[in-house]
Structure 1
Amino acid sequence: MEVEDYWERSAFLLAVHAGDIGKAEMLLSKGANRDARGRCRRTALQYPMNHDDAAMLRWLLDQGFSPAVKDGFGHTPVMDAVDHSAADCFEILLEAGADWETGKHEGTRLISDATHPRIIQRLLDLGENPAHLEREALREWIGLGTRDELQVSRAEYDQGSSRRFGTANPERMNVPFWNAMVRNGWTGYRAAKHFGEDSTDRGDPVWCHDRLGTSITPLPDGRFIEIAGEHEDHYDPDFCIYNDVIIHDGKGGFEILGYPEEVFPPTDFHSATLVGEWIYVIGNLGYRRTREAFSGETQVFRFHIGSGAMERVATSGESPGWIHSHQAKLGDGCIRVFQGNVLAADESGEITKSSLSGSYSLDLARAVWTRR
């Protein structure tokens, strides 16, 4: 019974792959090896993902197969469910206690590999941050899709290719080039090249919507609030940290809100937590000038969904410091932040990065931080 085929599958694994519970059950009763592994040490519990075979998966779990067992690449069945868009199997594995947070690569989240709408929604319901989605999946999720043609003139490029801050709180930034860049998701380099320029020679970044460290907050009415973020690394000519807010209607429509830098500084790698009609924006990696302006204290702002206004929240207590790339959760009138990084100056004045120790809670009624 343990003779293997070309893909190193035993008769039992073939029965599982084929979705034949009767044969699989008979083979186990005859002493087939339940711990058999296929090519790349693939486990029995991973084969139902190929066809989203919920019935076979439930049967295997009932036989005591563990959803935590990994293959030769360190992948679990729930990771395969995401890869194969096996939405039914994904839900069953969650019920069985599968780890829905850890991604396939160190430091990544499972949602970063998700493309199936039901799987994405389930992870968001569990509290995942949609900003961790892969860019194309994220664009599909918020209704933008992708386009290959930049529908903007050379004059509009010349007029709008540079970043500028808003003059009101907020200013609705109806810039044709910016709108086209949001619809396309192009990098600044690609847009400049499209118009025969090299962005490395400009002296200022080309405005773009291709960003890291942004936040996406789904609203109950189907809209999405996208806040700030950065493009490229600090040494790149197109490096830019933005301070805008983009309101997506979920159907491809959007509007861009701008702010004066003194009202809302350029912000990236923050958290965004929906609390009633406000979104609390906590933390920032930011520019050095922003860190110095806040004297290393935790940056806290809130965005009003109705008016679009952004306001700073003055806090007291023991804050986590200049935190970024963290997690945030709402509960009992507090926002708890955890698992982030903190920038601080050492005795010589050198800026160092360390992992956040423990967690901190911000009492929203009193605007007071408490270390937990």
Structure 2
Amino acid sequence: MDQKSKREVNPEIKQFHQVVKEGTLAELQQRLESGIDVNAEGDSGMNALMIALEAKDLKKMQLLLTRGADPELTDDHNATALDYAVSEDFAAGVQELLARGVDRGYHPKYPLKKIDYGEDTFDFIKINMPEELKGEMSEEEWLESFEETKALMEEMGQNPTVEPAIVGVYSVEVLKLFLAAGDDLSLASPEMKRLLLKLDDQAMFQATPAEYLKYKSPRFGTANPERMDNPFWSDMIQIGGNAYQAREHFQDGTAFEKPGVVWCADRFGSSLTPVKEGRYVQVGGEHEDYYDPDFYIYNDVVIYDGKGSFQILGYPKDVFPPTDFHTATLVEDTIYLIGGAGYPEQRKPGFTPVYRLHTGSWKIEAVKTSGEMPGWISNHRTRYEPTKNTIRVEAGKLSILNEDEELDLVTNQSEYELDLSTLVWRKLKSD
């Protein structure tokens, strides 16, 4: 992990940590027999277990765990042992920790620590202007940017949050361990998703200018579903391209010169779900923010075979509206699509949209539910509980009406479950 902080560390603890880092297993055993605190903090709040993981030493890690090392403890930047294993791409360490049921970045065992980045950190940022920015901005602009960065870091330090460990994964081997543990593939980085789907990193545009002009705009399907593969859309998926890249390649002018959204595969808030036969199903997502000329929320489905090939399906807007930041939960041969942000005019405070995507026919249908719904929820998490045949919903943001009858986003503080046998919602608890 990065960012070491300075602190006074007991010399005995320093020696102990040095043995963990560079000593033999027998030497570590001897130190532990002396009764030293296995969870004692050293530089940056690191403990012995974190040091063993940073050294990618499985035997030392296992020995420390048997001697009481707590894998849920955090360093000065709220990183756990699992975060260290992920940052080192240490698959054996990740597997060991996941098998022990450690938190994966969703429900930290201990309160988060406020982070003091210190002036040394800010001085480093201030002095070391990246080479690629020299000539692109003035020294004055860089200093202004630095002050903004400093203010943001200080705010984050005083109000720390954690993100799921899967976000930092950078190998398919480790990614599959998290998927087996029940994590949502949608949370992985775009680069990891492309690796998993075996999309070609060297792909280039193959579509002709005429094909680009014919297919450049998004459109809704006319059937449930409609096969919508075409040369330009296929190129965009292979490349992982955005609207700007396409406009540049086909010399189509900027979005301001030639208004009209360009279809693209570079999206936020889409879901990606593993299904049978090594396939993966991507649903919806948005490109850019609302103020960008190429902002668009999609309602399509892309089915990947996991070997580099895919097909694109479209749907009528009244069958399946545009969706982003929803969840996709696989239950046997059906994917339940719950919530989502959508366009402002779609949002119905108090109502939770639910759709079923059938992986045999690829038809989508709206699901009529009742009971105590979460409301118009997005950026949330779901998990299927087979013993109860329910889908649990937690975290996320809710769209609610304020006193002025305008939409506000607030944090969801409650948990809910949808009974798939009765299609009735039930509120479980509030924080």
TM-score, normalised on structure 2?
Answer: 0.78
Following the alignment from structure 1 to structure 2, what is the Cα–Cα distance between the partners of residues 35 and 126? 26
Following the alignment from structure 2 to structure 1, what is the Cα–Cα distance between the partners of residues 37 and 366? 62
Q: Which residue of 2 aligns with 1:94?
A: 98
Letter in 1 for 2:381: Q
Range moving further from structure 2, 257-266 or 28-37: 28-37
Following the alignment from structure 2 to structure 1, what is the Cα–Cα distance between the partners of residues 406 and 366? 28
Structure 1 residue 277 displacement after superposition: 1.9
Q: Which residue of 2 aligns with 1:304?
A: 358
Q: Which residue of 2 aligns with 1:250?
A: 306
Q: Which residue of 2 aligns with 1:65?
A: 69
Letter in 2 for 1:307: S
Establish whether residue 267 from structure 1 lines up as the match of residue 323 from structure 2: yes
Secondary structure of 2:377 counterpart: strand
Q: Which residue of 2 aligns with 1:127?
A: 182
Structure 1 residue 202 displacement after superposition: 2.6
Where do 1:201-240 residues align within 5 Å? 201-240=257-296
Structure 1 residue 39 displacement after superposition: 4.8
Deviations 1:67-123 (A, max 9, x none): 233333332221010011111111222344532224997252111011233322222
Structure 1 residue 131 displacement after superposition: 0.5
Identity of aligned residues (%): 39
Letter in 2 for 1:324: S
Following the alignment from structure 2 to structure 1, what is the Cα–Cα distance between the partners of residues 35 and 396? 49
Following the alignment from structure 2 to structure 1, what is the Cα–Cα distance between the partners of residues 360 and 186? 22
Task: State whether residues 283 and 324 of structure 1, in contact with CA within 8 Å, keep that contact through their aligned partners in structure 2.
Answer: yes
Deviations 1:143-183 (A, max 9, x none): 22523522222222111111111111111001211000000
Q: Which residue of 2 aligns with 1:280?
A: 336
Q: Which runs of 5+ in 1 are unaligned?
A: none
Letter in 1 for 2:243: G
Following the alignment from structure 2 to structure 1, what is the Cα–Cα distance between the partners of residues 204 and 23? 45
Task: State whether residues 49 and 89 of structure 1, in contact with CA within 8 Å, keep that contact through their aligned partners in structure 2.
Answer: yes
Structure 1 residue 362 displacement after superposition: 1.9
Following the alignment from structure 1 to structure 2, what is the Cα–Cα distance between the partners of residues 98 and 262? 43
Establish whether residue 106 from structure 1 lines up as the match of residue 164 from structure 2: no
Task: State whether residues 273 and 279 of structure 1, in contact with CA within 8 Å, keep that contact through their aligned partners in structure 2.
Answer: yes
Task: State whether residues 204 and 235 of structure 2, in contact with CA within 8 Å, keep that contact through their aligned partners in structure 1.
Answer: no
Structure 1 residue 25 displacement after superposition: 2.8
Deviations 1:35-56 (A, max 9, x none): 6666544322122224431111
Following the alignment from structure 2 to structure 1, what is the Cα–Cα distance between the partners of residues 15 and 228? 63
Establish whether residue 315 from structure 1 lines up as the match of residue 369 from structure 2: yes
Structure 1 residue 195 displacement after superposition: 2.0
Structure 1 residue 253 displacement after superposition: 0.6
Letter in 2 for 1:226: Q
Secondary structure of 1:269 counterpart: coil
Q: Which residue of 2 aligns with 1:13?
A: 17
Q: Which residue of 2 aligns with 1:56?
A: 60
Secondary structure of 2:223 counterpart: coil
Task: State whether residues 335 and 361 of structure 1, in contact with CA within 8 Å, keep that contact through their aligned partners in structure 2.
Answer: yes
Following the alignment from structure 1 to structure 2, what is the Cα–Cα distance between the partners of residues 164 and 369? 34
Task: State whether residues 214 and 229 of structure 1, in contact with CA within 8 Å, keep that contact through their aligned partners in structure 2.
Answer: yes
Structure 1 residue 9 displacement after superposition: 9.1
Establish whether residue 74 from structure 1 lines up as the match of residue 128 from structure 2: no
Structure 1 residue 233 displacement after superposition: 1.0
Q: Which residue of 1 aligns with 2:116?
A: none
Following the alignment from structure 2 to structure 1, what is the Cα–Cα distance between the partners of residues 164 and 332? 27
Letter in 2 for 1:24: L
CA RMSD of aligned residues (A): 2.5
TM-score, normalised on structure 1?
Answer: 0.90
Range moving further from structure 2, 99-108 or 302-311: 99-108
Task: State whether residues 39 and 70 of structure 2, in contact with CA within 8 Å, keep that contact through their aligned partners in structure 1.
Answer: no
Structure 1 residue 286 displacement after superposition: 0.2
Establish whether residue 178 from structure 1 lines up as the match of residue 233 from structure 2: yes
Letter in 2 for 1:13: H
Task: State whether residues 136 and 145 of structure 1, in contact with CA within 8 Å, keep that contact through their aligned partners in structure 2.
Answer: no
Q: Which residue of 2 aligns with 1:156?
A: 211
